[in-house]
Structure 1
Amino acid sequence: MVNHNASINKAKLTETDIITKFIMPAVKNAGWDDMTQIRQEVKLRDGKVIVRGQMGMRTTVKSADIVLYHKPSMPLAVIEAKANKHEVGKGIQQALDYAHLLDVPFVFASNGDGFIFHDKTKLGTPEAHNLESEIRLEDFPSPEELWAKYCIWKGYTAAQLPIINEAYYDDGTGKHPRYYQLQAINKTVEAISSGKDRVLLVMATGTGKTYTAFQIIWRLWKSRAKKRILFLADRNILVDQTRINDFQPFGTSMTKITGRTVDPAYEIHLALYQALTGPDESQKAFKQVAPDFFDLIIIDECHRGSASDDSAWREILEYFSSAAQVGLTATPKETDEVSNSDYFGDPLYTYSLKEGIDDGFLAPYKVVRVDIDVDLQGWRPTKGQIDNNGEVIEDRIYNQKDFDRTMVIDERTQLVAETITNYLKRTDPMGKTIVFCNDIDHAERMRRALANLNPEQMAKNDKYVMKITGDDELGKAQLDNFINPKKAYPVIATTSELMTTGVDAKTCKLVVLDQNIQSMTKFKQIIGRGTRIDDKYNKLWFTILDFKKATELFADERFDGTPEKIIKVTPEDIEDEDVDIDAADDEPNEEDVLGDIQDEQQVEGQDNTKNDPQGDGSFDESEWDEGETRKVNKYRVSGVIVSKVAERVQYYDSDGKLVTESFKDYTRKTMAKQFSSLDEFVRRWNDADRKQAVIDELAQEGIIWSALEEEVGKDMDPFDMICHVVYDQPPLTRAERASNVKKRNYFTKYSDTAQAVLENLLVKYADVGVQEIENLQVLKVQPFNDIGSLSDIIKKGFGGKPQYEQAISELEAEIYQIAQ
């Protein structure tokens, strides 16, 4: 066979050429199917979103050059390519990173001469000393060879293989499970096929738990390893979203259990706990079928309800104890009374909020902390003072935990509402907002205050502000519209418990915390309402407006997602139109209550197993009578002076501690990771053929130039902004640099045409920046088109494109001469 590549000078080939001419032929010659087993440019991450002020941008991430698969659901190997000028193993560390994400043991790096083969299956064997070896192009292993080694490494039995080999559902749109979803799916299918019957998956809110569950069920169901499946949840919206969206491909094989009847004609059953059980024996619909009827049960949000040993809902799981049971949660509960791991075992797979934010799959957040004086200092009634209802107020100091639970101060409610309104007016008045209140009464008063403060918006649509709580049928009916990105209204939802979990509000841009939150589980769930990203609707990040110090929980070691920044301000600062809370020198347990806290009641937090008169599970949280309730006195007063406290700006550092940091500080830290000194940065800048390439590289690392301009000055070049901010060099404006070039009388060596072009380019630089000099298309517009056409300018003015590019390079050298 003639080697057509023999005469090619590899050293001059690009990385893409190396892949096309050498790596891919070697892989295909080894027997890999180009259509089903090879994927190129596999993007594993989306790129972390960096947020500063009101701006957010994604960092750029690299894709894995080649991923090899046994089946679409089973990645086996990663290949990372480099140009031939590099050593053959140059890409191995990068490939190992991708292999870790995909959980594959076979890792290859190549420069076109051969492969470095890193084989994790050798670890723990006598061959471990030969973990990495160099092999020829023609010796690339076949699919059968790697699959056989993989099966031995995994310890698969013959009985497992038909289940393992079942592919995930492909909708034909090119959508693939993300790397972490694929890990969760594969690990669960492996575990259940090996006989494990209790599995816990911990995946942060917004990372696709239900989609992951669907793919697990699909593979086990299609392989007939599991024939009857039950999906359990404790809220109607969770069941309905699942049935309509992710589970839709099950079609006529799927049913939602209603009327307290389990229909054996269906194989996929979705159900509310409430539809399957109740305190009376006649309500225990799950007993209509035999204990072995279901062989797989998926429990959504398993940190609630059935997590407790003495839960009435737990009896469903215990009745079907022979079934494999998979618990899904973003927040596993571990207390003295409740333990998910006791029942399911340690998590089989965990994908955290921090990982999701770092990968760019979840939205980062900034935090505005607002301290109100009565919250910090407390408020005490005068002797014998009566409230608005004529009741004598108990004489004690009321503090932050009391407000809107046992003590209502109207002026405080008004101040919170004003702060929310001012923030929205300054940012995005139509930005979807959830206001978490202490109870239904608080949610109603907050709705009224917000409505009164936004008469123009209410005139456009009276659903601008809606109370969405379990007791309000009109409000609950608007929940679907609130979470639908295509629906503009409602914009602001006031709530207490109904929206803490399971509400997929992709475009929520503002989460307001005016609720006492002590539970880490609940805090994570609430924060999760904003963590979804929706690129289509430009939702890349969100803001947390905290009135109750709840965000102090970010510093708790149990919280793994570091916020982008904390801003501590006062309501009056936000009110003041001259103060920009985003552009200042800024950077940044109790049981979960099931259902809304009822008016003037303190919920004790037990499972509801009560009335469902229709027997269809159609009732919702407002009908939950959470065990015993006790009357709580609630006073309401007016005329209290509520004022601001001092402003403080804070940022959560990567170690979870609070530091004060501006965007200038962030830029310094980012640059320190890229360049060890000013000399190194200047050298990189001057050596770059295109300065814009350096600017783009730094933007990809999270330096938002527009945000830096706001702090430093819009008339400065990116080079000077960095030199001034990071290396304390005297600042030079673009106009000053252009003036220095003119003073040196530098243009006289060029022809008249070339001089005119270069002088005008210098003007463009002074006005806009270096990108204008490097953009060839600028020669098509004024004033250059008065000099001649683009081709005439380059040919007649400079003698050709190489000469023009050389002149541009010399012009840039003159502009930045002070740095040389």
Structure 2
Amino acid sequence: MFSMDKKQLTETDIITKFVLPAIDKAGWNSMTQVRQEVKLRDGKVVVRGQLGVRKTVKSADIVLYHKPNMPLAVIEAKANKHEVGKGIQQGLDYARLLDVPFIFATNGDGFVFHDKTNPSALETEIRLEDFPTPEQLWDKYCVWKSYTAAQLPIITQDYYDDGSGKAPRYYQLQAINKTIEAVSSGQNRVLLVMATGTGKTYTAFQIIWRLWKARQKKRILFLADRNILVDQTRLNDFQPFGQAMTKITGRTVDPAYEIHLALYQALTGPEEHQKAYKQVDRDFFDLIVIDECHRGSAAEDSAWREILEYFSQATQIGLTATPKETDTISNTDYFGDSVYTYSLKEGIEDGFLAPYKVVRVDIDIDLQGWRPTKGQVDQNGELIQDRIYNVKDFDRTIVIDERTQLVAETITAYLKRTDPMAKTIVFCNDIDHAERMRRALVNLNPEQVAKNEKYVMKITGDDELGKAQLDNFINPKKAYPVIATTSELMTTGVDAKTCKLVVLDQNIQSMTKFKQIIGRGTRIDDRYNKLWFTILDFKKATELFADERFDGTPEKVMVVAPDDITDEANEDFLNELNNETSISTTVAEETPLSIQDGQGEYKADTWQEGEIDTGEPAPYIKYRVSGVTVKKLAERVQYYDTDGKLVTESFKDYTRKAVMGQFASLDEFVRKWQDAERKQAIINELAEAGVIWDALVDEAGSNLDPFDLICHVAFDQPPLTRQERANNVKKRNYFTKYSETAQTVLDALLDKYADVGIQEIESLNVLKVKPLDQLGNSMQIIKSGFGGKPQYEQALTELEAELYREDNPRSA
């Protein structure tokens, strides 16, 4: 008799009555070692049109921990009507995310135990009362990881916990734990690769905190190359270090502090007296963490590399979203292969990063080129060199005012059509271009600028007023500035969580730079409804999405000897040119002038032009012309697809693909819909598969219910409106078999269906609103009209069957 009762228990009952008691009896601490419903992913955001919705995700039923944030095992439970091992594959997926070797599946009768530490008996069945103790699993785990006795005090050091409930995400746990393992085993060069927006600084904080608290590392240096990176770190993630932390300023290293945050530029310079790092001994720091290590510290001959080499005895951890591998620069050559990598694609799939929609705009002169007339001079009277100018030249070698105007008009039109207050970054070729773009956008948005003159701001290294607005731009609570035009200053390190539009009007050929720029939009902020972003591309930069290096680790190519380099100023560009491009002999590369002052702010950037064949510098000339007819030839929209690629498809195509993934044919869909006791289950199932119901309503009409939306959009069937379906039922007058009260209720339910849809009448809440609330409360209506809840539910099932009868006459 008991076994029959057990078959009726829900999954939750099985966990409560059988699983948790077995765990408790084995000695697991329910307060610190057992967590239920552990949500490892946030749910991927699917974007179509102007809508973005999250897919629902399942949670791990139970995760067991050695200590908080040190996971050991996953338990996946199912109802007793299922076989005992049904949850094992689901558990294996969660275990992969958590990097744990122990997986248990159960239906309440016993456990299937998958033990990666025992290859000779990977899966065995054990009784409820034989569930392993915490000590047994920890001992097996330590052997599996090959931990030594010396490592254990470091590996078991607690994470920082402020009591707010904030805990590292699964990939942050892996990054932290793998780094701690590497350092505790004596590895002194460590590389972590984590996509922009995935919390590199928070991850670095937890690594430093644990090593510092374990007294494994006592003096720590956090290095960055921009003030904003250091200040954001000090004020946010690193705040718990409190009085032990300082920011190095004035070229003085104060030995009284243990945690030092510094700009490269504050520690060194071209003159010997500027090399502040030499004030302390080579063994002063025993841990150095380098943020954005793909930049200044990557090159062997970098002036900043000397800091790392001076403190060569220290453990050095490099953080980057874009490991730089070029002919002459290699992060992995210095740090070694990454101990952990979390990519943009993984972040989007997990729902921690925002997917993107790309709008590619093709301009006629970009595609066809522009050539001056013979003897034509520009606005400054300069004779324009006679050749064909194309997309690589515009706003670099030559400025065409009408092109700038067209780009600004397109940006403005997009914002007006979607959200004029959406935070927007416009990436321009240089500071001059950023200023002209700012002016064009100001003139096109007089109403917005009248409300606040900071609606459009140029935020570049040479503009103190603009730089002063950077904090306001990245602060979600500050409405202004809305649009920021920039060149280099905002390509990296700017934590603009609510940025919804990234405009590319800049020539980008460096994969590293492209990844960094895209990273400006990939952060998600649910509080401000920032789930996805748009890339408005005028320079074909998004073609780099198709490059296999976009979401992988670049291939390392260390082949160029120093003697082969003839023009140091353009070294990186020449390497890129040889490897990636083929253009005319006169080229331009962006080289910052007075790149940093003592505190690391970018002061100016401009273009240098040189002759490739000789390396001799040429006089800088940028022509400016107007009166050119410029037109948009095409605008096409591409979406981030399930396999991480950009696809151009209509919403109808997308919906059809999502539906066909669930149902092979129209007949199968109709049969499943009609057989479903409640239609909401099918609606939820399709939503999880990526069907965006709100977008379907926008495209096909708000008077259709989900059944007709799918039949029409996915299977090209003529639809019936909800009102037509309700009228067809009323004409048949099938519910005369019910009591007068029941007929009144069913008639009102039909009217509700016609007004708002099937979801509304499947909820008992419908009995609480007019006109049904006048018949009494929900229980009174069900009792007096139908005799009880089972009879009411049966009547509702019959009503739905009538609504979706196949012989319903169609409107077309």
1:743 to 696, 715, 731: 731
Partner in structure 2 of residue 586 of structure 1: none
Partner in structure 2 of residue 676 of structure 1: 664
Partner in structure 1 of residue 579 of structure 2: none
1:801 aligns with 2:789: yes
Partner in structure 2 of residue 517 of structure 1: 508
Count residues in correspondence: 772
1:644 aligns with 2:625: no
Asked if structure 1 preserves the Cα contact closer than 8 Å seen for 2:357 and 2:640, the reply is no
Q: Which one is further off, 688-697 or 66-75?
A: 688-697
Q: Which one is further off, 722-731 or 662-671?
A: 722-731
Distance in 2 of aligned mates of 1:378 and 1:765: 58
Asked if structure 1 preserves the Cα contact closer than 8 Å seen for 2:592 and 2:605, the reply is no
Q: TM-score, normalised by structure 2?
A: 0.92
Partner in structure 2 of residue 727 of structure 1: 715
Partner in structure 2 of residue 161 of structure 1: 152
Asked if structure 2 preserves the Cα contact closer than 8 Å seen for 1:602 and 1:632, the reply is no
Q: Which one is further off, 280-289 or 780-789?
A: 780-789
1:46 to 42, 46, 54: 42
Q: Which one is further off, 446-455 or 644-653?
A: 644-653
How much does 1:819 deviate? 7.9
1:252 aligns with 2:240: no
Partner in structure 2 of residue 65 of structure 1: 61
1:115 aligns with 2:111: yes
Partner in structure 1 of residue 355 of structure 2: 364
Partner in structure 1 of residue 76 of structure 2: 80
Asked if structure 1 preserves the Cα contact closer than 8 Å seen for 2:292 and 2:318, the reply is yes
How much does 1:673 deviate? 2.2
Distance in 1 of aligned mates of 2:467 and 2:280: 33
Asked if structure 1 preserves the Cα contact closer than 8 Å seen for 2:352 and 2:524, the reply is yes
1:620 aligns with 2:601: yes
1:56 aligns with 2:52: yes
Partner in structure 2 of residue 584 of structure 1: none
Percent identity between matched residues is: 79
How much does 1:346 deviate? 1.0
Partner in structure 2 of residue 27 of structure 1: 23
1:264 aligns with 2:262: no
1:238 aligns with 2:229: yes
Equivalences for residues 129-168 of structure 1 within 5 A: 130-168=121-159
1:760 to 726, 732, 748: 748
Distance in 1 of aligned mates of 2:636 and 2:247: 52
Distance in 1 of aligned mates of 2:674 and 2:660: 19
Distance in 2 of aligned mates of 1:676 and 1:611: 61
How much does 1:804 deviate? 1.6
Equivalences for residues 387-398 of structure 1 within 5 A: 387-398=378-389
Instruction: Deviation per CA, 1:494-533: give whole Å up to 9, x if none.
Output: 0000000000000001000000011111111000000000
Partner in structure 2 of residue 95 of structure 1: 91
Partner in structure 1 of residue 441 of structure 2: 450
SS in structure 2 opposite 1:544?
A: strand
Instruction: Deviation per CA, 1:392-431: give whole Å up to 9, x if none.
Output: 1111111111111111111111111111111111111111
How much does 1:756 deviate? 2.2
2:683 to 695, 703, 710: 695
- Amino acid paired to 2:458: K
How much does 1:754 deviate? 1.8
| Shift in CA distance, 423/331, structure 1 to aligned 2, threshold 3 Å | same
How much does 1:185 deviate? 0.2
1:498 to 489, 506, 509: 489
Q: Which one is further off, 751-760 or 331-340?
A: 751-760
How much does 1:658 deviate? 6.0
Q: Which one is further off, 753-762 or 487-496?
A: 753-762
2:453 to 444, 462, 479: 462
SS in structure 1 opposite 2:192?
A: strand
How much does 1:373 deviate? 0.6
Asked if structure 1 preserves the Cα contact closer than 8 Å seen for 2:288 and 2:317, the reply is yes
Asked if structure 1 preserves the Cα contact closer than 8 Å seen for 2:48 and 2:639, the reply is no
Distance in 2 of aligned mates of 1:819 and 1:183: 57
SS in structure 2 opposite 1:96?
A: helix
Distance in 2 of aligned mates of 1:508 and 1:479: 13
How much does 1:287 deviate? 1.0
| Shift in CA distance, 591/94, structure 1 to aligned 2, threshold 3 Å | farther
1:716 aligns with 2:711: no
How much does 1:227 deviate? 0.7
Partner in structure 1 of residue 180 of structure 2: 189
Q: TM-score, normalised by structure 1?
A: 0.91
1:348 to 339, 342, 349: 339
Gaps of 5+ in 1: 562-588, 594-600
Asked if structure 1 preserves the Cα contact closer than 8 Å seen for 2:473 and 2:481, the reply is yes
How much does 1:713 deviate? 2.8
How much does 1:7 deviate? 7.9
How much does 1:6 deviate? 6.6
Partner in structure 1 of residue 620 of structure 2: 632
| Shift in CA distance, 304/659, structure 1 to aligned 2, threshold 3 Å | closer
Asked if structure 2 preserves the Cα contact closer than 8 Å seen for 1:105 and 1:121, the reply is yes
Equivalences for residues 381-460 of structure 1 within 5 A: 381-460=372-451
Partner in structure 1 of residue 290 of structure 2: 299
| Shift in CA distance, 295/187, structure 1 to aligned 2, threshold 3 Å | same
SS in structure 1 opposite 2:323?
A: coil
Distance in 2 of aligned mates of 1:624 and 1:643: 30
1:540 aligns with 2:550: no
How much does 1:785 deviate? 3.7
Partner in structure 1 of residue 582 of structure 2: none
Distance in 2 of aligned mates of 1:729 and 1:687: 20
Asked if structure 1 preserves the Cα contact closer than 8 Å seen for 2:473 and 2:482, the reply is yes
1:781 aligns with 2:777: no
| Shift in CA distance, 646/420, structure 1 to aligned 2, threshold 3 Å | closer
Asked if structure 2 preserves the Cα contact closer than 8 Å seen for 1:738 and 1:763, the reply is yes
Equivalences for residues 219-234 of structure 1 within 5 A: 219-234=210-225
Distance in 1 of aligned mates of 2:256 and 2:637: 61
Distance in 2 of aligned mates of 1:152 and 1:357: 34
2:198 to 207, 210, 214: 207
How much does 1:218 deviate? 0.5
How much does 1:288 deviate? 1.1
SS in structure 2 opposite 1:170?
A: coil
What RMSD, in angstroms, separates the aligned Cα atoms of the two structures?
2.2
- Amino acid paired to 1:41: E
Distance in 1 of aligned mates of 2:86 and 2:618: 68
SS in structure 1 opposite 2:714?
A: helix
How much does 1:619 deviate? 4.4
Instruction: Deviation per CA, 1:316-366: give whole Å up to 9, x if none.
Output: 111111111111000011000101111111111000000000000001110
- Amino acid paired to 1:773: I
1:329 aligns with 2:306: no
| Shift in CA distance, 505/375, structure 1 to aligned 2, threshold 3 Å | same
How much does 1:644 deviate? 2.0
Gaps of 5+ in 2: 553-571, 577-586, 610-616
- Amino acid paired to 2:137: L
Q: Which one is further off, 735-744 or 503-512?
A: 735-744
Distance in 2 of aligned mates of 1:289 and 1:351: 36
Asked if structure 2 preserves the Cα contact closer than 8 Å seen for 1:469 and 1:495, the reply is yes
| Shift in CA distance, 805/709, structure 1 to aligned 2, threshold 3 Å | same
Instruction: Deviation per CA, 1:701-742: give whole Å up to 9, x if none.
Output: 221112112222322221122223333433222223223222
Equivalences for residues 596-611 of structure 1 within 5 A: 605=591
Distance in 2 of aligned mates of 1:13 and 1:792: 29
| Shift in CA distance, 186/549, structure 1 to aligned 2, threshold 3 Å | same
- Amino acid paired to 1:523: F
Distance in 1 of aligned mates of 2:523 and 2:54: 15
SS in structure 2 opposite 1:416?
A: helix
Partner in structure 2 of residue 665 of structure 1: 653
| Shift in CA distance, 604/391, structure 1 to aligned 2, threshold 3 Å | closer
- Amino acid paired to 1:815: L
- Amino acid paired to 2:221: L
SS in structure 1 opposite 2:174?
A: helix
How much does 1:166 deviate? 0.1
Distance in 1 of aligned mates of 2:707 and 2:225: 56
Q: Which one is further off, 491-500 or 745-754?
A: 745-754
